Amino acid sequence: MAFLSSVKGGAGRGRAEALAFPGLVALAALAVATPCGAETLKANFALSLLGLSIGHASANGVIEGRSYRIDISMRTTGLASLVNDTRGAATASGALSSEGLAPTSYANTTSNTYETRTVRMSLAGNSVRAVHVDPTPWDLPVRIPVTESNKSHITDPVSALIMSVPASEPLVGPSACNRTIPVFDGVTRFDVTLSFVEMRNVETQGYSGPVSVCAARYRPIAGHRPDSASTRFMAENSDITVWLAPLPTAHAVVPYRMALRTNVGMLTVEPAEFHLGGGRRQAAERAAPERSTAEQ
């Protein structure tokens, strides 16, 4: 759920925080592709700020058996690229079990007008085994130190996009949303807390079915500047929503849409395409509980 830490970069100080922006698109750009018998999804998303297009994202990956892999990419377009030409790519892979996701590798390369940064991380047992960041943030000495305990019982920002639901619980409703996700992106450690708001029916190219609407909150833990106005803004931001679509075979949910208030206006991440495979449309319909009056 790197989008919550990354959006603050737009209001932050200098190059290090600006490079965090592509983490936002990790939430938006989850897509899973083609092997037979796998849980499949293919999605493209449009990013807009104050109703103006600022970029797009796409991704490919697969959840198959007990393993998963996700590859994503993004870039700013139009006026946004004139102000700060930002692009990025990230990948994550690991195992999927009844306990949830156990990532084994994560890599992310982001670039903007100022510089390019690469993060590589290996994990085991939901703990970091090794991490390499090049270049390191210029303001690292004044950031809150990340301890070894901060790097245990976590997930990476891309793997965080696949959220397991207990086998006994439905995939649409409170059980889809209500959770706290501990995330480490190689530099910062933060929690994302989701809480259920309502259920809706949605329709876009490739998908028609139920989603769960969740309110999201960001809580910084380590790796950030204690004097950062942008971190404080995001920590106090109560105007963030994430819509989650079900993956029945994996018994998990993934982001479908996101909206959040930034210090310059409302940012939305909308699906232009959201293709479901492996008979998942019918499975999604079966996964939905009785319709609520909140559905549209």
From residue 186, give the alpha-carbon distance in Å to each of 35, 123, 130, 141, 154: 30, 11, 9, 15, 11
User: What confidence score (pLDDT) does residue 84 get?
Assistant: 66
DSSP string, 91-121: EEEEEEETTEEEEEEEEEEEE-SS-EEEEEE
User: What confidence score (pLDDT) does residue 135 get?
Assistant: 96
* 89, two tokens: 């790519």
- pLDDT tens sequence for the chain (296 residues): 544 444 444 333 444 343 443 344 444 433 333 334 577 678 899 999 888 888 988 877 788 878 898 888 888 887 665 556 788 999 999 998 767 889 999 999 999 888 899 999 999 999 999 999 999 999 999 999 999 999 999 999 999 988 999 989 999 999 999 999 999 999 999 999 999 999 999 999 988 999 999 999 999 999 999 999 999 999 999 999 999 999 888 888 999 999 999 988 899 999 999 976 654 444 444 445 444 333 43
User: What confidence score (pLDDT) does residue 79 get?
Assistant: 60
Q: How far apart are CA 214 and CA 217, in angstroms?
A: 10
Nearest to 142 by CA among 234, 21, 16: 16
User: What confidence score (pLDDT) does residue 22 get?
Assistant: 37
Q: Which residue has the tokens 């058996």?
A: 65
Residues 195 and 173: beta-carbon distance below 8 Å: no
* 103, two tokens: 């990532």
